[in-house]
Amino acid sequence: MDRAVYDRMAAQEQVHWWFVGRRAIIRALIEREVKLGRDARILEAGCGTGGNLELLSRYGQIEGFEFDPEARRLATNTGFPVSLGALPDQVAEPDAAYDLVGLFDVLEHVENDVAALEALGRKLKAGGSLLITVPAMPWLWSSHDTTHHHYRRYTARSLKRVIAAAGQRAVNVGYFNTLLFPLAAVHRGLNGLFGAEEATDEIPARGLNALLSAVFRFERHWVGRVPVPFGLSLFAVVRAPR
């Protein structure tokens, strides 16, 4: 991603409605879909500036890897171990070692997404889980995706296809960030119509940010339980054979 994107991420990810809402979704999916024991070992792949590490540490021993040096430095400052690594072929962490691997809005940044999932699948213990989130709906492609160096957005069908091509089994795939979908679709449509190229990840005014966060977080009550036909994002839970 561009340097400015990492800078904004570091400054905003504890308060920006999107990061706050996504962490609520991740938490709900872990507690609902991934059964972790007391001594669970967890890896976050492409952990960025480390905004998810504290959350993940509640469920076990957490490690991360990140390629960007400044993002890795900031992630290390959280107090959790973060190593140098990149998908698909620069992952030094041991094979068959982790109960949970988190891949949160990273897969779209990797040109060879199948190879990336193959690499992470090898890191799972028998019966371990890979939890994935990605941006959804290719027709929503915008300057936001270009700035963030995305290769693609996914549909439920295309994400399932990539998981299967990596030789893995998805036990649950679904859309989320659904309630805000109409607002985002209109916003991006108007930006495209008028050629607006402003950054779309700046934090809104406090009241609006709180409202958007509350709406997004509300979806934690049904994510993974009730299938919905669309959303700005997708999740997938992949389970390694026992």
| pLDDT tens by residue, 189-224 | 655 554 555 555 788 999 999 999 999 999 999 999
Q: 208 CB contacts (<8 Å, ≥6 apart)?
A: none
pTM score: 0.93
Q: What is the pLDDT of residue 242?
A: 86
pLDDT at 5: 64
pLDDT: which is higher, 9 or 118: 118
User: 219: helix, coil or strand?
Assistant: helix
Candidates 68, 41, 45; CA nearest to 57 is 41
Cα 10 from Cα 7, distance rounded (Å): 5
Partnered with residue 61 across adjacent β-strands are 41
Residue 60, sorted as left (phi over 0), alpha (psi -120 to 50) or beta, turns out to be left
Please report the pLDDT score of residue 11 as a whole number. 76
Distances (CA, A) of 96 to 17, 38, 45, 169, 214: 35, 18, 15, 16, 38
Higher-scoring residue by pLDDT: 195, 106: 106
Arithmetic mean of pLDDT, 110-137: 98
Strands 98-104 and 41-45: parallel
Kind plus residue range of the DSSP H or E element containing 239? strand 233-239
| % of the chain residues with pLDDT over 90 | 81
Task: Report the CATH fold assignment for 3-239.
Answer: Rossmann fold (3.40.50)
What is the predicted pLDDT for the residue at 187? 73
Q: Predicted confidence band at 6 (pLDDT cuts at 50, 70, 90)? A: low
pLDDT at position 147, please? 85
- pLDDT (tens digit per residue) in 153-197: 999 999 999 999 999 999 999 999 999 999 988 876 655 554 555
Q: Which two tokens stand for residue 97?
A: 């070692």
Place of tokens 């990840």: 201
pLDDT value at 100 more than 50: yes
